[in-house]
Structure formats: C-alpha cells, structure tokens
Structure 1
C-alpha cells in the first residue's frame, strides 16, 4: 500500500506517517511548511522520517490549497489511500488571519476531495476537530450532537469540511472518515498549544497566562493513542451498504470523536507540568478569550464500537514523557 499523508511535517501527520512506515507501507508526504509556527520543527520531523525510513518516505513541499500545484504534484504519483491531516490550525489565529483558514481548510479540502474522487482512492480519511461542538454544554460531546453553532472561524471551517465530505461521499460513493480530534499532545507536539507554551514558560521563569481564571477542562489525548486510532480507522473504511454510519450518514462516510474520554482540569495539567519540570509556576489569570470553549470531553463509544479504539495513556504518564522530549529537543539540562 502507498498512502498519501498531507500535513506530513505536522505533529499528527508526521507521527501517523511514522506508524505507517513502521508497518511496511510506503508514504508520500506533503506539507507547505508555512511559518504559523517555527518551520525548523517541521523540517526536523521530516528529517527524522527520512533518516529512519529512507526511500519508503517521499516528501515534497506542496500547498494543497493551490489547485494547480496539487495537480502537478499528484500527476506522477500513485497512491491507494489518503490521510488528509493538513490544515490551518488554531482557534485564536483565526481571529487574526481568517484568509489562511479559507485557503487551507476550505479550498484545501475541496482540492483534496477532488483528488480523491478522480483517483478513486480506497479511503479518504480527514481531520476534523472537537471545536465543532462550539458552546455545547452537554458533556461528553457525542457525534450525534447538533454542531450548528461554531464559536470560532476555525470551528466553522472544520464543520464545513465535514459537510463537503458528506456531499462527496454521497455523490461519488467515496469511502470517507472524519475524525474530531481532542487536544492532542506529546513528543514533537505543537508550539502554539497550551502544554508547550506552559512548559516553555516554566523553564524560562515566566508567568503562565491562564484564561478563564483556570476554570477550564480539556480531554487531553496522547499522540500514540491518537495514531493507533487513526490507523485503525484507515484500515476500516465505511461500507457503501446504505446503513447509518457514525455521525448519521447513510453514505459511506463516518465521523468519530477521537479523544481520551477523560476531561481533566486545566490546573491539574499545570500541576503535573510543575512536577515534571521541577519548577513552580507563577500564574497570570486572564478572562476567557474569544473563540475558546470552557470544557471538552469526548464520547468515544462510536469509535470504540466500530474500530476497537481504547486510549491507554493518562496525563500522569503522558505529561512527563512530553517534558522529557521537550528538554532533549531544546537541550535543557
């Protein structure tokens, strides 16, 4: 099998590519290597894959939001399945640069769906987000819940991705799976996420900016658990049998929550970071930021039922592993 992975220089994308390569598949990876966060980290992830797997990993710098560039890239390549994880991420950045989200998450999704349609791939798996639940107050979030009230542009684009996916799956009978990721963390993570920001501040002796006065909860999901779930879903494409799928579709299109099914207090995460770094945090409490949600909590019963997904890493285990990697990557004694 040859799998095309978009966002292959990203956190989840590079980790998923690694797992595919480990089990003997060939991976074609693309990423535009933009500067939303330090491109050096993205290049380091790519180099790690090149060093570990040689010619089994083929990487090209491509912006899938550019229809012509994507078409030219794809022309000489053959692939059986697509894992579309590339996107413009981040809730707060969508308040500053909305055009980036339209290009990557809307045009990019259409371009990738068109590629999957014309290549008649076996399975198109794409990234959605827990952000689609917006201000929903009933916890845990279930894939059956209404998600019609996004409170950030990022969330709106991810909901739009699901709707476009449903349309293509219905019209062209394209087997498709959307995954709503819940606060993924771990080694090789993203510098724009709270765990990285807090860890960096602790080692630099700076205050931690904590929103909503710390009254927040997140379903923190460790990267190894996420990757196992992605691979399990990839291997189990929805059947075109007219039966109702997870998320409510009768097309060959399933939508799943993929999380840890544990909603942890933000301040407990801070306490574990203090223990792992050996530093005491100074807190700078701030009100809730526009676009943020107070609590997230994934109901994972659908992905458990259909794919046997069972996350096994608590934050008590995962946070020290992240901190150890962070220290090694930044050469902190």
Structure 2
C-alpha cells in the first residue's frame, strides 16, 4: 500500500483518481481549494458521492499559501503526490491571466517545495495537450517542440514541466508530467464544451461551433485516464535519464482526433435531440488540432485500453440526466435518433 496525496481531489479528474486509488488499497489524502471558477456545489457533491463512501477526506487548502501547504505535507507525510489542482480553461486565461499565475505558477512552486522538504518519492502532475500550441502535423510526440504555446494557460503548463524538470535536476525529486488530452466523462467540468453543448441541446438552445466545427480534439474518456494514472503510480518513480535527471513526460490521449461537428452528432444521438448550430471563427488561444501519440506511455505501462467515444459519451449523458434531473425525453422520434 502506498500513501498518496491528491491535490484538486474535488475536481473532475482528481475525484475519480482519488477514488480509484482508494479502491486499489492505497491510503489517500485529498485537498482542494473549492474555488468558484465553476459552482463549488459540484465539487462538494463529487466528494460526497465518490470519496466519502471510501473514507477519503478532502481538506480545504489554497496551494499558493506556502506555509499552509508545507504544514499539510508535513502532517500527512505521503510517499506519492498526484498534483491535479490548477486553474483550468484556455479561454478564461485570455481575460484573467493573473489567476493562472497564482494558481498554476505560485501554487506549483509551493507544491514542489513541499515535496522536496518532505521527502516525497514521486510527484506526478497535470500538464496539458495545450503545450503543443498551433500544429498541423500529427500525432503529437513528447519530444516535439513546445516552445510556442497559444494561450497563457498553456504557457503556465509548459512552465510547470520546466519547473518540475529543474527541481528533479537540482534536488533529485522524481517527477512525471502528464499531458492530458480533452478528458470527458461523468462528474465532468461544466466549463468544458461538451457539457455546455449537452445542456443547450437538451434545452433547444443554439450552440456555437468555433472554427466552423472543424477543430479536432483527441477526446479521452476519464476511465482511460484513471487507468493510466493508477498504473503509473504502481510503476513507481522514473529512473534518471542520460543526464541523471529523474523526470519524464507522457501524453494521455489516444491518437483519435474527432472533428467537433462530428462530436456534436454523437452527442445528439446520445441525447436523442437535434442541435441548433451556429458557426463562428476560431477564438484567440484555441488550437485547431490535438492528437496524442501514446507510444511512450504504452511502453511504460503496457497496452492501454481505448474507450470509444460512442461508448464513453452516452455514459456522460446518462450521468448528466441524473445530475440535472431531466425527465425522459418526450421528443417524438428520439428513440430512433438515439440508435441511429
């Protein structure tokens, strides 16, 4: 049994990961700022539904508070830290960059120092596919250049990777950076497009597809992400590279990009409703394509199962129906559309 501290444990990926680690027999400690970037009631509900039944407590903690963070680490003395807390959202970072500097830069520096001072054996932390910037060639490989992020959010995630590498080089803290590719699923984030699309389609409101619906995303089911995280924790810290630095980077995506317009078609089928669609140009900060090469990850953890979008998306819709309290869809022909 390993003791694991999960930051952002009330978040989408964090709550699922903390629950899976606890079910696997690890001792899990959680923390979260419970901020209001989206409705904190959803975060508390995740804790109550996914973590409380397993005995996992999630303490309120602002990681940019350095002394409080160090005290929390010292109190719990965990061997592994899974750092998933962050200020998320590409578009939000265009207008509110200082929030990202505080949460993603100061907060991560605070985590690194707490890990160093408390002898953490392995730090795994969330990066993002956004670090690849605007690219037309695919798939994206970890060794590709990431020197031109297209948003401030992406820049903070690239900075996190460099900060982790520097700490590994100077202090020997083993670190694994995880580049997530458009994670979706039950208990997801309401600021993400797939959630907003589903609510609007259900209500008959129009949705806007940026980039005229031709933007492509490598959608990754939360179940697949959690499977990879558990196997990476079980595998243990990275061995030092040729320069003696115990640091590694992995893509968590499946090399299966889907056009957003096609994603919406599958969402229509899952909901049993047609979407009213408006098209618009791509906003500043959005990238045209994400597409992961997972070869390095599979070399580390073995064959990695792929949940098809046609299977994973209906799981999200079924959960959202329960969460929102929607009645059975009364639209004529909905059953035929859902199975088309």
> TM-score under structure 2 normalisation?
0.93
Alpha-carbon distance between aligned partners in 1 of 2:57 and 2:108, rounded to the nearest angstrom: 22
SS at match of 2:188: coil
Q: Which runs of 5+ in 1 are unaligned?
A: 244-248
Q: Which residue of 2 aligns with 1:3?
A: 4
Alpha-carbon distance between aligned partners in 2 of 1:323 and 1:50, rounded to the nearest angstrom: 22
Q: Which residue of 2 aligns with 1:284?
A: 278
SS at match of 2:75: coil
Alpha-carbon distance between aligned partners in 2 of 1:72 and 1:331, rounded to the nearest angstrom: 41
Runs of 4+ in 1 over 4 A off after TM superposition: none
1:253 aligns with 2:247: yes
Over the aligned positions, Cα root-mean-square deviation in angstroms equals: 1.2
Cα distance change on mapping 1:250 and 1:135 into 2, 3 Å: farther
Q: Which runs of 5+ in 2 are unaligned?
A: 328-340
Alpha-carbon distance between aligned partners in 1 of 2:37 and 2:240, rounded to the nearest angstrom: 41
Q: Which residue of 2 aligns with 1:166?
A: 165
Alpha-carbon distance between aligned partners in 2 of 1:132 and 1:239, rounded to the nearest angstrom: 21
Alpha-carbon distance between aligned partners in 1 of 2:88 and 2:244, rounded to the nearest angstrom: 29
Task: Answer with 301-310 or 120-129: which moved more.
Answer: 301-310
1:293 aligns with 2:294: no
Deviation string, structure 1 residues 101-142 (Cα, Å, up to 9, x no partner): 001100011100001111111110000000000012211111
Alpha-carbon distance between aligned partners in 2 of 1:28 and 1:144, rounded to the nearest angstrom: 33
Q: Which residue of 1 aligns with 2:333?
A: none
Alpha-carbon distance between aligned partners in 2 of 1:284 and 1:319, rounded to the nearest angstrom: 22
**1:177 and 1:237 in contact (8 A); partners too:** no
The Cα shift of 1:30 comes to: 0.5
Where in structure 2 are the equivalents of 1:301-316 lying within 5 Å? 301-316=295-310
Cα distance change on mapping 1:191 and 1:309 into 2, 3 Å: farther
**2:32 and 2:60 in contact (8 A); partners too:** yes
> TM-score under structure 1 normalisation?
0.95
Deviation string, structure 1 residues 260-284 (Cα, Å, up to 9, x no partner): 2211111111011111111110001
Deviation string, structure 1 residues 63-114 (Cα, Å, up to 9, x no partner): 1111122123334222111000000000000011111100110001110000
The Cα shift of 1:165 comes to: 0.4
The Cα shift of 1:238 comes to: 4.0
Task: Answer with 309-318 or 38-47: which moved more.
Answer: 309-318
Alpha-carbon distance between aligned partners in 2 of 1:217 and 1:242, rounded to the nearest angstrom: 34
1:195 aligns with 2:194: yes
SS at match of 1:76: helix
Q: Which residue of 1 aligns with 2:334?
A: none
Alpha-carbon distance between aligned partners in 1 of 2:221 and 2:238, rounded to the nearest angstrom: 29
Deviation string, structure 1 residues 286-327 (Cα, Å, up to 9, x no partner): 110000001110001000111115132010111111100100
SS at match of 1:288: coil
**1:141 and 1:296 in contact (8 A); partners too:** yes
Deviation string, structure 1 residues 239-278 (Cα, Å, up to 9, x no partner): 44444xxxxx751101010012211111111011111111
